[in-house]
Structure 1
Amino acid sequence: MSRPVVVVVGNPRPGSRTAAVATALGRRVAGDGEVRVVELADLAGELFDPASARVAAAVEAVRGAAALVVASPTYKAAYTGLLKAFLDRFGADALLGIPTVPLMVAGAPHHALAVETSLRPVLVEIGASMPTRGVFVLESDLADPDAALEAWCATHLPVLRPGLAARRAA
């Protein structure tokens, strides 16, 4: 059985536009492989419960992923506290070798660097491998998630795919 691409959505609203664009990216990364979506909004009441079986299952899904898409709306030039609480479950190098794409959604272009300056560092700290730049999507482009991702995918998927293939084979 092949490892799935796991999409972690840090939006506090389930079924958000952030989830839609992140899932679209997960499908593009996975190609014909499986995609699993972890909506942290569904786990919000359990994130600080060390005995939560559902959170433990989400953590294990992330650890076993062929690749990750980690997505958040931009709040105060950074990612959500919900996503931070989940990422705090992972120690240094816990995601070592997992190809990871950070994705952030924002209402204005002046937040474009948030994906690189706020989300990327925490993912690096927990060992995620990020061979490409992150994805920044304006809210105004969310009506067509696939179109919003087209340029990034054309440039970066060829770089991401070798690491994904290696993880799937492992």
Structure 2
Amino acid sequence: MATVLSVSGSPSAASRTARLLRHLDARLTDRGHEVVPLDVRTLPAEALLGGDFGHPAVREATALFERADGVVIGTPVYKAAYSGLLKCLLDLLPQYALTGRTVLPLATGGSTAHVLAVDYALRPVLASMGAEHITPGWFVLDKHLATAPDGTLDIEAETARHLERVVDGFATALERSTLLAVG
């Protein structure tokens, strides 16, 4: 089917955002998509903060975006916006790096006061980068995500149902886009 780049913009090694994305990656894989995870925090800080477009890790991340048919962008919300780490990466990508791609924006945060960050902070940046289709995103409260004793992600039931609907909507839009590109 399609190749999906699943990007975590969280700076934390114990990130709920990253665990949520890996959980959702499995749903996309079950639908037949190849999912490539990218944790921005694993890229060299000196390259991101120094704006080093030519750094091998930045060039490799850029190539991942070029190969992807769809992109899932996940970020924790800090100060009513997406993470600075994610901003660093997006600033290093070509202006129209998302052209022709279907994109799903997701955010996590501690308060419902940040729920609009998906639509008013993240979505405009994704649109400015040429995303062909930005599907409805979703904001997940941190309290609805927990790590189970076996290390898997435990998602509050109603939140899980909403996320399934959002991810399935993204997958359907991606599949349509991929069929149109082939046909």
What are the residue-to-residue correspondences of 1:56-71 with 2, within 5 Å? 56-71=59-74
**Residue of structure 2 in register with 1:153 after alignment:** 164
Structure 1 residue 8 corresponds to structure 2 residue 7: yes
Cα 1:161/1:155, change in 2 over 3 Å: same
Q: Tell me, what secondary structure is at the counterpart of 2:133?
A: coil
Q: Tell me, what secondary structure is at the counterpart of 2:36?
A: strand
State the number of aligned residues: 169
Moved over 4 A (4+): none
Computed over aligned residues only, the root mean square deviation of the Cα atoms, in angstroms, reads 2.3
What are the residue-to-residue correspondences of 1:1-40 with 2, within 5 Å? 3-30=2-29, 31-40=31-40
Give the CA deviation at 1:145: 3.9
**Residue of structure 1 in register with 2:84 after alignment:** 81
Gaps of 5+ in 1: none
Gaps of 5+ in 2: 147-153
TM-score of the pair, normalised by structure 2 = 0.81
Distance 1:52 1:102 in 2: 26
Identical pairs, percent: 34
TM-score of the pair, normalised by structure 1 = 0.86
Determine if contact 1:44/1:82 at 8 Å carries over to the other structure: no
Distance 1:77 1:62 in 2: 26
What are the residue-to-residue correspondences of 1:88-103 with 2, within 5 Å? 88-103=91-106
- Structure 1 stretch displaced more, 55-64 or 126-135: 126-135
CA radius of gyration, larger in:
2
